[in-house]
Structure 1
């Protein structure tokens, strides 16, 4: 089902928007598990990441509300999605990704926004807690599983109208980030790695 859906959506997006460009795919680990942390604004970036990684399947987190209806739940599971409470991800959110990585699978995590949005929120006295929690989750999972994080950005349309406007699509992979094992300085390691990911997001966006 996953392969069929990926090829079908690739064809649909090609007919609507033309060929997508994948940049730096050679940076991906070969035959080893890893975590992709990709910028996220709509369903289009999730689909495009799946297309860019093909034939390697990606198992991705999706907000738990999408699993409330039985039909949607079954469909999402066939598409390698698993539920997570994005607004309040607790320790249990680590279990499924760790199991997948142990089986040498690829896990995708999609925090919304960018470093600019974080800085703007801080200036206004707020913080995108969902984005930070998901990035922190990815960092802790990578540390515990001893796998790299591949920071990735999607650049392109986020709506059907923009797709039909032929705005080009890009998936750009960054260099692997290796997270050390967490010791006494868990907060320091997490915060430093979070900043690195955010910085790389902005650098990759500047490549186009």
Structure 2
């Protein structure tokens, strides 16, 4: 990981996006200071990953659709800013292993459980991947709500919820799909509370 390039990118993105969208960050005081963290956010715009990146108190590793790694400039840049590819529409064992490894090593993994942007802005159904990571590691699971719109000089809120206690769900051996639904419910509550 090129920490310096990540920090440089975060600084540039902050200088441009923070004033443009009047980004307000809420809830970072309860964000775990160390240990593995799984951030799960709703997905309303292509700018969501840099916005979550600039508001997170810690460095994030993001999964991104594999197609982005075929774009000439992006395929060089993305790996240097902690982004790794995932194949959509199928079980990508390599990406799952990479995500598990990062969480077990105490890193922060950022996911958009819906898997794609919401065309309506409403929260969609989450995919099982988020639940898989939540159940298979002891990482703190932090729900995150991005509340738009992405319009210049209109306030954009990024709300981090308190970590979800997954210990009971791990003991109950619920399915990854059910675990994802628990996470999506928490994101839904954050959106409702901060609209």
Tell me which protein shows more helix as a share of its residues.
1
Q: How many pairs align?
A: 184
Structure 1 pair 69/101, CA: closer, same or farther in 2 (3 Å)?
same
Structure 1 residues 2-56: Cα deviation after superposition (integer angstroms, max 9, x where no partner): 11111111111134233x21111112112121100111122222111111114x1
1:73 equivalent among 72, 75, 82:
75
Matched, 1:157 2:149: yes
Structure 1 residues 146-195: Cα deviation after superposition (integer angstroms, max 9, x where no partner): 1121111111234xxx2x2x221111111212334857x75x34343222
Secondary structure, in 3 states, of the residue corresponding to 2:193?
coil
2:33 equivalent among 7, 30, 35:
30
Structure 1 pair 87/76, CA: closer, same or farther in 2 (3 Å)?
same
Q: Which residue of 2 aligns with 1:42?
A: 45
Q: Which residue of 2 aligns with 1:64?
A: 66
Q: Which residue of 2 aligns with 1:146?
A: 138
Q: Which residue of 2 aligns with 1:95?
A: 97
Q: Which residue of 1 aligns with 2:18?
A: 14
- CA distance in structure 1 between the aligned counterparts of 2:165 and 2:182, rounded to whole angstroms: 11
**Stretches of structure 1 lacking an aligned partner (at least 5 in a row):** 119-130
Indicate conservation of the 8 Å contact 2:130/2:176, yes or no. Answer: no
Indicate conservation of the 8 Å contact 2:113/2:129, yes or no. Answer: no
Matched, 1:4 2:8: yes
- TM-score, with normalisation over the residues of structure 1? 0.78
Matched, 1:175 2:157: no
Indicate conservation of the 8 Å contact 2:63/2:86, yes or no. Answer: yes
Larger Rg: 1
Secondary structure, in 3 states, of the residue corresponding to 2:25?
strand
- CA distance in structure 1 between the aligned counterparts of 2:33 and 2:18, rounded to whole angstroms: 27
- TM-score, with normalisation over the residues of structure 2? 0.83
